[in-house]
Amino acid sequence: MITYILTIKKMILPFIFIAGGLLVGFTFEKIILRQIKRVSATTKWETDDIFVRALHGTTTLLFLAAGIYWALESSDISHNILVFLHKILLIIVIFSVTLIMSRICVGFVSQYSRKAGGAFVSTTMFTNLTRVLVLVIGILIMLESLGISITPILTALGVGGLAVALALQDTLSNLFAGIHVIASGMLKPGHYLRLGSGEEGYVEDITWRYTTIMTLQNNTIIVPNAKLASAIITNYNIPNEEISISVDIGVSYESDLEKVEKVTSEIAGGVMKDVQGGIVDFKPTVSFYKFGESSVQLSVALRGRAFVDQYAIKHELIKRLHKRYQEEGIEIPYPARTIYMKEKLS
């Protein structure tokens, strides 16, 4: 009877350990970790948020692995099978720890890039390189823990790396060109660019192979990093985001130019104050610069906070000037050309 009870106990105990590990992991994940996340969200310290996000989804697996380990220790499985299952558990644990460390490292890289700015702008390239580096280290630790020597692997990678580098010249050139572009600090996600070939838009991301640019028409331009590094680029965010705006206007030769200048300056100043995106403290200038074929040409210089603000500013300026010119009797002439014909004497 006692032997029967002991046998039943040995059969049930492993399942208790496994169920217990799963229950503890689920409780920690859904209750304790959630409470920690709420507390960390109220603090100004960003590091605790990084650790909380890193543990999400992995604690249950770790507690389950611990339960399985004690279940195996309390069972009568043969030594060979037990060693094999221990190796599988070791792989699971190392994989989980590697995943946690990867998330922590990526979190610190992103945090540092936000604070440092400059060349360390956060992009998909840096986060992916960080993940790959931690993953490679985790795999090497895993192989070493399983008794597999990594020295021959490192030697083979060193020899094979040369062949891979020759076979992937274009890919590697894009990779290093992307790193060069980021390190230079001249391009960052959010900058508005115009390429020498005419394409323009906001930089969305710089990956290991290409840079994506979102146009104002909501289309995506994909530029290989090697092409971007050698292209002629106008960056409208450097040295600052403010942009000069010039609007050309033509008025009739019969117009009072003093009056035209006064009215135009008044309207332009109102646009700077009223239109969102205008620089309130900027004083617009009006300059007559050319005797045209049918009008006197003048230019109105304004200033916007960002590249896209110029469209609303130009729109409002033209609309207000057209209405005010009509009220003041200032004519905007149609293009005209006078042709004199001389009759040929016979």
Clarify whether residues 318 and 290 are in a common domain.
yes
Clarify whether residues 97 and 140 are in a common domain.
yes
Clarify whether residues 188 and 255 are in a common domain.
no
Residue 261: the pLDDT is 92
Residue 324: the pLDDT is 93
Clarify whether residues 6 and 46 are in a common domain.
yes
Clarify whether residues 25 and 123 are in a common domain.
yes
Residue 62, helix vs strand vs coil? helix
Domain membership of residue 12 (yes or no) is: yes
Which residues of the chain fall below pLDDT 50? 4, 6, 118-120
**Dihedral, 77, 80, 81, 84 alpha carbons, nearest 10:** 140
CB atoms near residue 245 (< 10 Å): 25
Clarify whether residues 185 and 135 are in a common domain.
no
Clarify whether residues 140 and 185 are in a common domain.
no
Total tally of structural domains belonging to the chain: 3
Give the phi and the psi of residue 308 in degrees, each rounded to 5: -70, -15
Which letter does DSSP use for residue 342 in this model? -
* Domain at 285, CATH number: 3.30.70.100
Give the phi and the psi of residue 195 in degrees, each rounded to 5: -80, 160
- Residue 111 burial by CB count (10 A; 0-12/13-18/19+): exposed, middle or buried? middle
Clarify whether residues 186 and 67 are in a common domain.
no
Residue 153: the pLDDT is 63
Domain membership of residue 303 (yes or no) is: yes
Domain membership of residue 230 (yes or no) is: yes
Instruction: Extract long-range pairs of 246-249: CB within 8 Å, 24+ residues apart.
Output: 246/299, 246/300, 246/301, 246/302, 247/299, 247/300, 247/302, 247/314, 247/317, 247/318, 248/297, 248/298, 248/299, 248/300, 249/297, 249/298, 249/299, 249/300, 249/321, 249/332
Clarify whether residues 154 and 26 are in a common domain.
yes
Domain membership of residue 151 (yes or no) is: yes
Domain span at residue 214 reads 178-235
* Tokens standing for residue 292: 């045209």
Domain membership of residue 310 (yes or no) is: yes
Clarify whether residues 285 and 323 are in a common domain.
yes
**Nearest-angstrom CA–CA distance, 145 and 91:** 9
* Domain at 220, CATH number: 2.30.30.60
Residue 154: the pLDDT is 61
Residue pair 246/301 in contact by the 8 Å Cβ criterion: yes
Clarify whether residues 16 and 111 are in a common domain.
yes
| H or E, element range at 161 | helix 151-167
Domain membership of residue 117 (yes or no) is: yes
**Nearest-angstrom CA–CA distance, 60 and 56:** 9
